[in-house]
Amino acid sequence: MRRLVAIVILCCLQLGARAQLEVKPDSFKEVPGFVNINLEIQADDNDVPYAVVKVKTENISDKQRRELLFQGDAATFVECEYKVGEVWVYLTYKASYLKISHPDLSSTEFWFPFDMKPKCGYELTLVNNATITDEELQKRIKQLEAELQNKPEPQIVYVEKPAEQKQQKKEVKLARPKESTTPRYSFITFDASKNTYNKPAVGFTIGSMRKVGVFLTMMTDFNFNHLGDEEFNEHHDKEWIQNYAETNDCYTYSSYVSFSVIGGIIFKVYGPLNLKIGGGYSNNSEWINVTDRRSIDNDFWVSDVSSYGFGGLVGLQINYGKIVVSISGATTNFKIYEGRIGLGYGLHGKL
C-alpha cells in the first residue's frame, strides 16, 4: 500500500514535470521569400506592420496547440491563426521577445536573436520536453517508500512542486491574445466624372468600414446659379427653345448645372475589392438664356436633356494599403448617367 501511494504521488509529480515547453535550439530562422499577403492582418492598432512567426510544435496535441498563449513585450500587439501542426503568430515586427504559455504545461520566453523585418516570415519549433527520466522516477519511488516505512502511523504525504514550477504556474495567468478582427479602414478619394452629355464634374468621397461601412460622395461643376430653380421656370425641349429664339430674333446662352450628394453602404467582396451602393439627390440640368433686342431675357429649363431628383450609385473600390481606387456609375432618375473614377488615401483607424 505504501509503495502504491509513493508511485501515485511521484507519477503525478512526473506528469507535471514532464510538461515543459522549450524552443528548440537553433530552430528560429527567417523563411526566404515569405511576404505577409493576408490583407486582414497587416498592421497593429498603431499602424506598425506585423511580422509573422510560424510556431511549429513537437509532442503537443492539436487541443494543446489551440490553448497556447502568446505575449510580446510592452506596446506589442499579437494576433494568431491556428493551423495544422503550427500556429501563425502575427506580432509587431519591433518585438524583442515572444512568451509562450499553456495553462497545463509551462511557459517559456524566446528572445529574438536579430531584428525582424515588417511583413516577413520566420519560423521556430516549440517542443514539450520531459524533465524526469524513468531511472530518476524509480529512484524517487524507492526513497519515498523508505521514508513511509519509517513512519509509525500512516499519514497523507504531500509533495509540493518545486518553487520554479509554482512560479511558472502563476505566470500562466496571461490575457489571451485578442481575436483576429478586421481593423477599421477610413478613406477619402478625389473623383472626376462625365455624364451622358459629356459634361464634367469633380468632387470627393469619404467613408469608413470594417467588413461593412458607410460612405458619402459629393460632385459638382461649381455652377450653382440655377440650382433648385427648375420647378419655378418654364420647361421646354431644346427644339422649342431654339425655334422660339429664331422667331423672336433673340440671342441665346447655354449653361449647365451638375450637382449631387449621395450616401450609401460599402462592403467587402473579396480581398481588397469592395462594392458601393448608394442613393441621394442629383441634378443634371441644362439652361438656355434667351435675350431679345430689348434686353429682355428668359431662362428656360431644357426638359429633354435635363433631370433632377433621385440620384443612385453603384461602384467598385479597391483598398490596397494606403492607396484607394474607385470606379462607379451614377444616374439621375435613370435618365442621365455618369461614369466616375476616383483616387485617394486610406488608413487603418480614423483619418
Please provide the average confidence, as pLDDT, over all residues in the chain.
84
Gap between the Cα atoms of 224 and 283, Å rounded: 11
Grid cell listed for 288: 438656355
The model's confidence at residue 16, banded by pLDDT at 50, 70 and 90, is: very low
pLDDT at 339: 96
Instruction: Decide: residue 274, CB within 10 A, 0-12 exposed, 13-18 middle, 19+ buried.
Output: buried
Domain ranges of the chain: 2-131+162-171, 185-348
Residue 232 pLDDT grade (very low, low, confident, very high; cuts 50, 70, 90): low
Q: How far apart, in whole angstroms, are the C-alpha atoms of residue 341 and residue 343?
A: 7
Q: How many CB atoms lie within 10 A of CB 200?
A: 13
Could you write out the three-class secondary structure of the chain?
Answer: CHHHHHHHHHHHHHHHHHCEEEECCCCCEEEEEEECCCCCCCECCCCCEEEEEEEEEECCCHHHHHCCEEEECCCCCEEEEEECCEEEEEEECCCCEEEEECCCCCEEEEECCCCCCCCEEEEEEEEEECCCCHHHHHHHHHHHHHHHHCCCCCCCCCCCCCHHHHHHHHHCCCCCCCCCCCCCEEEEEEEEEEECCCCEEEEEEEEEECCEEEEEEEEECCCCCCCCCHHHCCEECHHHHHHHHHHCCCEEEEEEEEEEEEEEEEEEEECCEEEEEEEEEEEEEEEEEEECCCCCEEEEEEHHHCEEEEEEEEEEEEEECCEEEEEEEEEECCCEEEEEEEEEEEEEECC
pLDDT at position 36: 84
Range with the poorest average pLDDT among 19-33, 50-64, 134-148: 134-148
pLDDT at 134 over 70: no
More confident residue, 323 or 74: 323
How far is it, in rounded angstroms, from Cα 50 to Cα 95?
Answer: 10
Angle at 35 between CA 32 and CA 41, to 5 degrees: 140
Confidence of residue 4 (pLDDT cuts 50, 70, 90): low
When pLDDT is averaged across residues 1-23 and rounded to a whole number, the result is 59
Residue 105 has pLDDT above 70, yes or no: yes
- The mean per-residue pLDDT over the stretch 284-303 comes to 86
Threshold 0.85, pTM exceeds: no
Residue 3 reports pLDDT greater than 80: no
Q: Which of 218, 197, 219, 215 is nearest to 206 (CA)?
A: 215
Q: Are 9 and 157 in contact (CB under 8 A)?
A: yes
Q: What is the identity of the amino acid at 210? A: R
Smallest Cα–Cα separation from 51: which of 113, 107, 5, 95? Answer: 95
Torsion of CA 75, 81, 84, 86, to 10 degrees: -10
Q: Which CATH class is domain 185-348?
A: mainly beta
Per-residue pLDDT, averaged over 148-152, amounts to: 66
Q: Is the pLDDT of residue 154 over 60?
A: no
Residue 128, all three cell numbers: 514539450
pLDDT in tens, 234-279: 788 888 988 888 888 888 888 899 999 999 999 999 889 999 999 9
- Between residues 224 and 181, the one the model is more confident about: 224
Which range among 115-129, 155-169, 285-299, 303-317 shows the weakest confidence by mean pLDDT? Answer: 155-169
Which is higher by pLDDT, 21 or 260? Answer: 260
pLDDT digits (tens, 9 = 90+) for 298-347: 888 998 999 999 999 999 999 988 999 999 999 999 999 999 999 999 98
User: What mean pLDDT do residues 5-14 have?
Assistant: 55
Confidence band of 198 (pLDDT split at 50, 70, 90): very high
C-alpha dist (Å) from residue 86 to 97, 104, 251: 19, 19, 80
Measuring CA to CA, which residue among 266, 270, 269, 273 is closest to residue 318? 273
Please tell me which residue, 179 or 257, carries the higher pLDDT value: 257
